Amino acid sequence: MVAEPEGTAMVVRSTLLPWPGIQLLLISGCAEPLLPTGGPVDRTPPAISASVPSNGAVNYEEDFVRLEFSEYVDQASFARAFSVTPALSERLRFAWRQRRVDVAFPEPLRDSTTYVLIIGTDLRDVRGIKITSPLTLAFATGPVIDKGRITGSVVEPFRGRGMADIDVLAYQPGALEPAYRTQTDGQGRFVLPYVREGEYSVIALLDRNRNQRPDPSEIFAVPPTQIIHTTEDTTLSLRRWIITRLDTIPPTLDRVRQRDAGIVEARFSEAVVLPGLDPTMWSLADSVTGYRVPILRVFQAADDPVRVFLEARPATPGTYFVEPDSAIADSSANRVRGSVVTVDMEPVENEAPRFEFFRFLPEEQSGEVILLPHQYPELVFSMPPDRAALDTLVTARDSTGAVRSIRIGTRNGTTYTLQLVPPLSQGEIVRVTVSDTLHQVYRRMEDRDLGSLSGTVQRLDIAHPVVIEVYAADEPGLSLATTYADSMGWFEIAGLQEDNYDVRAFIDLNQNSQWDGGQLQPFQPTEPITWTLEAIAVRARWNSALADTLVFHVR
């Protein structure tokens, strides 16, 4: 059977087959196709080879569409990827016959309306090869088809690289369901075709739960303007949309349990930042009498900020309420609230909790550890050491063997930073010893081993500062250095190790020293941002200057 498109209809030509051939055809049309064996590996994604109606057809009156693919496709992935706008109230029905599928509409189509069928990037063939760009088919039930277009790209915020498989949704004012939908391709580009003239609120998001609306946990991109106006038959080109995440969900205390030796483990729903290690910021109270058990120490696991540990020794067994102070928050400054959890406590022996030294930071090496200008030696313990004994536990000696003074601080009770007094000079060596047995040698890097990076950035105004950030090219998201452009847009960052770096700049509109990606409701645009297009090589004893001025694209 061979199907060929002809206008808005499909002409079907059949060939008479003997009975065994008819049986084979019927069997193959009802079963999921099997992979053929032998031959070269197929790496070509499926495509639409024929359709009823044809793309762009008008005056279409049937209650179905027919799609024929260039190869066998995975039927479950097609069901996930397929959508129609305007949306229909009932579920679509699919009838498969080999590489062809008939999609039956469950209700009459609207008069004089343009319908857009989108097959998203979830579609794959039976070998698992996915399409890289959405497939689109449009037709009109009247004599005119809408021809407006919205194009743009969605990129990540550290290098400006395109993001694939991001949903782009266009809503009419006040609507809960999108009027149009598409996805970005492998380079982050998108096209919303066949859009009716009008006003739309357009968003881009990683719609993991497929509910076609932004949820608090999903990453999204804010459009350059709140309302986008499309014309009847022209293309509206929008520049880069920057992916961000607006975390508005506060952390919660999910579980508390008693550990050995009088340690209580409090586990949160996400990583939390402790404003301090003051035990009075926590409450451990008897559920019957209300008596508050004194908490001796508070600390956080060095590599697991989801957990906080309390050292407490209640005199009697029983059930206790654990409540953290509301000043405890996540990295987005969402404060914990409504978190009171019970824990069953048993009496403990009087022996002290076991204390261990874990490791040196930066990571231990057999020889010297080179310290960059912004780095300091650090020590990681299993729990806070006794502060009175810390001075005798840790010693630092220079190359002559002389003992150096140390200021010791901690941010979580288990990771301790050592600042030598006076600070290490260029090329100076220090040997840090723990418990007279474990040691690590550190050397401060000399300026002659470092380089610098400079350039200019566009100044749209002088009222708002322009922040310059430098990232290692192989570690996007980890800022190594930050500075501000001067009134003319010039900047320089010194003290960089020989390496390849990416640079990004943003206008700090709210002056909080971090880039903000905006929000959808109430609408707030992203702070203008720009990047270097290629990594910049920095060499020792050399200033690497950007070849071009960094320019902001605000639309």
pLDDT in tens, 133-180: 999 999 999 999 999 999 999 999 988 899 999 999 999 888 888 899
pLDDT tens digits along 386-444: 877 788 899 999 999 999 999 999 989 999 999 999 999 999 999 999 998 899 999 99
The beta strands (E) that lie in 82-214 are given as 82-85, 93-97, 100-104, 114-119, 135-140, 148-155, 167-171, 180-183, 189-195, 198-205
**Burial of residue 501 (number of CB atoms within 10 Å: 0-12, 13-18, 19+):** buried
148-155/235-244 β-pairing:
parallel
pTM of the model: 0.74
Lowest model confidence (mean pLDDT) among 85-94, 234-243, 283-292, 396-405: 234-243
Listed residue (241, 141, 145) closest to 197, CA to CA: 145
Angle of CA points 17, 22, 27, to nearest 5°: 150
Residues 442 and 406 sit within 8 Å (Cβ to Cβ): no
Q: How far apart are CA 464 and CA 459, in angstroms?
A: 9
Cross-strand partners of 365:
none
- Is it the case that residue 32 has pLDDT exceeding 90? no
